Amino acid sequence: MGGARPDGFHDLANVFLAVGLYDEVTATPADELRVTCAGPGADRVPLDRTNLAARAALALAERRGLDADAAAVHLHIGKDIPVAGGMAGGSADAAGALLACDALWGTRASRDELLEICAELGSDVPFSLVGGAALGTGRGERLRPLDVGGTFHWVFAVADGGLSTPAVYREFDRLHEGTDVPEPVASEDLFAALAKGDADALAATLANDLQPAALSLFPPLADTLAAGRAAGALAALVSGSGPTTAFLVRDAESAQVVAGALAASGTCRTARVADSPAPGATVLRGTG
C-alpha cells in the first residue's frame, strides 16, 4: 500500500479474494427509497441515503436519466457478512442492490456500465460485483482477474465491535508520518500460490499493510491472531481494515478445529468458516 494521495485515498496493489459469506439484497417496488436490514449487527447498518445500497439505487436511477424520486424501491438487506468488519460487506450490498435494481427496473445496464457505477460508489464495490480473485490497483477499483487453481479454506474471527475504514487509513498515515512509503507492488509469489491452489505457499506470502494500523486502534486483535496460529492456522492476518481477522487453514477439517478454538478462546465474538474463491454479486430470483 502506498502513502496518502492528494485526494486522501491510498494507491493499492490489493489482492482481492471472494469468500463464501453472503448478504442477500431484495429489491421491491415502493413509494420511495427505503432500506431495511436484518441479521447480526443490523442495528449498526445505516438505513438512510448514506447506505451504500441506497446510493447504488440512486446512482443507477441517475444513469437512466431519472431523478432521485424515481429510485422508489424498498431494499431489504439480509446481513450475514460481519458489519464494519473489514470484509467489504457494505460494498457487497451495493453490488447486490445494483444488480437487483437493474433486474427490477429492466435497466439492462451493460457490465461495463455497472462496473463504472461500482467504481463511483466505493473502492471495493467493483470487485464485489465480479468476485473470484483479482488484483485491485488505483484505489482498489481497477481490477485484473487472477487465476485460482484450487479451493482455499478460511476461518474468520468476528471481533466485538467494528473499526471505521477511514480511521484505520488515517492511523496508517500517522504511523508512517515523516517516512517515504514505497509504491505498492503485488507479490508474484502470491499470484503463483493462488494459481497453483497451494495453501502453504499462499500462507508464506500473505500480508496486510493495514494490519499495524488496525492493531494500533484495536490491540486485542493480537490475541485473536495468536489464538488462531496456536490452533494450527497456516497464516493469520487482519482482514482488510479489520477488525475481522482471517486464518488460512489446510482443509475443511482444520477449519472446524481452528474455528472451535477461536470461539472458545474468548478473543473474539464468533468464528466463521468459509471457502474461496466464491462468485461476486448474483441475481438469485427474478420478480416473476
- Is residue 123 within the footprint of ligand C5P (CB under 6 A)? yes
- Is residue 122 within the footprint of ligand C5P (CB under 6 A)? yes
Q: Considering 80, 124, 180, 198, which one is annotated as catalytic?
A: 124
- Is residue 139 within the footprint of ligand C5P (CB under 6 A)? yes
- Between 136 and 277, name the residue whose CB sits nearer to ligand C5P: 136
* Half-sphere exposure in the Cβ direction for 100 (13 Å, CA): 28
Nearby residues of 253 by Cβ (< 8 Å), 6 or more positions away = none
Among 8, 16, 83, CA closest to 52? 83
- Is residue 55 within the footprint of ligand C5P (CB under 6 A)? no
Question: In Å, how far are 135, 141, 208, 216, 279 from 16, measured between CA atoms?
Answer: 6, 11, 12, 23, 12
Query: Applying CB under 6 A, which part among 64-72, 121-129, 150-158, 256-264 lies near ligand C5P?
Result: 121-129
- Is residue 208 within the footprint of ligand C5P (CB under 6 A)? no
- Is residue 86 within the footprint of ligand C5P (CB under 6 A)? no
Using DSSP's 3-state secondary structure scheme, residue 209 falls into coil
| Number of chain positions touching ligand C5P (CB under 6 A) | 12
- Enter the C-alpha cell of residue 178: 515523516
Active site residue 124: yes
Query: Applying CB under 6 A, which part among 9-17, 31-39, 175-183, 265-273 lies near ligand C5P?
Result: 9-17
Among 197, 261, 198, CA closest to 226? 261
Starting at the edge strand that comes first in sequence, how are the strands of the sheet with 133-137 ordered?
14-17, 133-137, 142-145
- Is residue 242 within the footprint of ligand C5P (CB under 6 A)? no
- Is residue 254 within the footprint of ligand C5P (CB under 6 A)? no
- Between 41 and 89, name the residue whose CB sits nearer to ligand C5P: 89
- Beta carbons of 246 and 207 less than 8 angstroms apart: no
Catalytically annotated residues: 124
Q: Under the rule (CB under 6 A), what is the footprint of ligand C5P?
A: 8-10, 12, 122-124, 139-140, 165-166, 169
